[in-house]
Chains A and B, each alone.
Chain A
């Protein structure tokens, strides 16, 4: 499967969440990764936003871990910023065989981890910025799980487009 090597954080299966032979790719902060089923991709989020995009027919999906809302406010890796990360993820998904018209998205994260309004505010801005950029590309936002004060594990299965969201000590949700 096409995976951009520069953006893959780790490709070690850490839990039995994928069928035998499949790999669960973990991405770190500002990481990005595109995979084909049966592989999956996951990340851990606090105030950042995880954006997942997938084409269920091609069974291809990708995820980005967005840390800042606007690329005009900083420099560095485009995967850090909401606007450029959405552009980049969509581009990589299409390059890997996804069909743009079939691509949908889900977003997770944006918590105020220390009850900090400023970080929570930045999390909200990240969520708004990702949503706006998805709309710009006419990508459907199928579901979201944002806000609150708890971190989340996010796991995308590109075969179904389902995203498992888990908060420590709670039963995982699927969106």
Chain B
């Protein structure tokens, strides 16, 4: 194999693992609250011990907190904390009581919050366990209502023995799209953080993290295009695959001409994005975007081409924004180009860089399903070999 095997730096892989933990916890908490809850996490960071008590703003901020010590291969702590007013609002949500019903945090209310801590922590820990192949077990939750710094004191006692910093993965909450002042923290011991990092050195974990980023790009693109078409569109991908040059776009070979929307990924992260379809499918895509019955369009005029470009822009932008967010790499694409040409001419033009260094290419290829039916649209994301090295090196 002539291309380098693309992987991710361990720290980035661990970031992806943490983000997925938050994603898993989001699903569990949404189910528990019967509401759309999203936990967002930006991975682990090291924090001076002196600043750790400011995690919730001021050291004296009074919070309700659920603490779960971690046992198993990873030791440390998980902490779910809320200001008093959002803690009572959460109890109302759990009890399905009208807003403002809960006015104090008694035994029953504390039990509700402890159960919430259980649900978030277990889902988060299960995700980490699965990714890293480690046994991570949150223990029995306990509740405290006190000043933030006082609550963090006993947790930091375990973590502060060596060095002047601790590692923390902090999570923010969105409830029905609005930011909620809840905080969830994973605080592994130094030794456990090293164990998790070393697990991320394993090729399989790093490769899995990269696949997840590709798959998440397709989720975001699905949502964006479904909104535009007002239909259920599912864009699916197996993530990154290695493919022989000859096999790329092979099923378009019988077409005389294909339409493609091409985007150069820019000067920072070299590569190409390409949305490809044959003429009948382009007519169909145009009808869907223009919200008219299929088939209505019989020829691609200026209006139809403009509609297709809009659709392609939306898919491509969603994919690239997702990549940019997950990889924390700036992607500044060039202007999109719309081309009609023979399949080999179109696809060949974006394979040149990878073809120079081998007989196969590394790419993300997607399939499209619209209203349950597979359609022959194809979206390709082809980072150049230098881009794969950038992904690896720039994130260390």
- A interface residues (Cβ-Cβ under 8 A, vs B): 9, 14, 26-31, 43-48, 67-68, 73-77, 80, 109, 111-116, 119, 122-123, 150-153, 168
Tell me the complex Cα distance, A116–B153, Å: 12
Contacts of A31 in B (CB 8 A): 50
Q: Which residue, A14, A30, A113, has most C-beta atoms of chain B within 10 A?
A: A113
5 A-B pairs within 8 Å (CB atoms) are namely: A44-B59, A46-B147, A114-B67, A116-B154, A151-B150
Across the interface, do A47 and B52 meet the contact criterion of CB distance under 8 Å?
no
Please give the distance in Å from B189's CB to the nearest CB on chain A. 12
If A75-B162, A76-B164, A114-B67 touch, whether A119 touches B157 (CB-CB below 8 Å) is yes
Contacts of A77 in B (CB 8 A): 49, 164
Across the interface, do B152 and A114 meet the contact criterion of CB distance under 8 Å?
no
Contacts of B152 in A (CB 8 A): 29, 46
Tell me if A's interface is mostly helix, strand, loop or mixed: loop
B133-192 interface (Cβ within 8 A of A) = 142-154, 156-157, 160-164
If A44-B149, A44-B150, A151-B147 touch, whether A115 touches B53 (CB-CB below 8 Å) is no
- B interface residues (Cβ-Cβ under 8 A, vs A): 49-54, 58-60, 62, 67, 69, 142-154, 156-157, 160-164
**Chain A residue with minimal CB distance to B67?**
A114
Tell me the complex Cα distance, A122–B161, Å: 12
Across the interface, do B60 and A44 meet the contact criterion of CB distance under 8 Å?
yes
Contact partner of B153 (CB less than 8 A), chosen from A14, A48, A74, A76, is A48
Contacts of A9 in B (CB 8 A): 50
Across the interface, do A152 and B150 meet the contact criterion of CB distance under 8 Å?
yes
Q: Which residue, A29, A123, A152, has most C-beta atoms of chain B within 10 A?
A: A29
Contacts of A114 in B (CB 8 A): 67, 142-144, 154
Q: Which residue, A77, A109, A114, A116, has most C-beta atoms of chain B within 10 A?
A: A114
Tell me the complex Cα distance, A28–B156, Å: 12
Across the interface, do A28 and B147 meet the contact criterion of CB distance under 8 Å?
no
Q: Apart from A28-B59, A113-B146, A151-B153, list 6 A-B contacts with CB within 8 A.
A: A30-B49, A45-B149, A47-B153, A112-B154, A114-B67, A114-B143
Contacts of A151 in B (CB 8 A): 146-147, 149-151, 153
Contacts of A153 in B (CB 8 A): 60, 147
- 4 interchain residue pairs of minimum CB distance: A151-B150, A46-B153, A46-B150, A119-B154
If A44-B60, A153-B60 touch, whether A68 touches B157 (CB-CB below 8 Å) is yes
Contact partner of A26 (CB less than 8 A), chosen from B49, B59, B67, is B59
Contacts of A111 in B (CB 8 A): 150
Across the interface, do A29 and B142 meet the contact criterion of CB distance under 8 Å?
no
Q: Which residue, B151, B153, B160, B163, has most C-beta atoms of chain A within 10 A?
A: B153
Tell me the complex Cα distance, A150–B62, Å: 12
Contacts of A73 in B (CB 8 A): 161
Tell me the complex Cα distance, A46–B157, Å: 10
**Chain B residue with minimal CB distance to A31?**
B50
Across the interface, do A75 and B157 meet the contact criterion of CB distance under 8 Å?
no
Please give the distance in Å from B269's CB to the nearest CB on chain A. 39
Across the interface, do A29 and B163 meet the contact criterion of CB distance under 8 Å?
no
Tell me the complex Cα distance, A116–B142, Å: 9
Tell me the complex Cα distance, A73–B158, Å: 12
**Chain A residue with minimal CB distance to B61?**
A44
**Chain A residue with minimal CB distance to B160?**
A67
Q: Which residue, A9, A109, A112, A115, has most C-beta atoms of chain B within 10 A?
A: A9
**Chain A residue with minimal CB distance to B146?**
A151
Tell me the complex Cα distance, A130–B311, Å: 68
Contacts of A26 in B (CB 8 A): 59
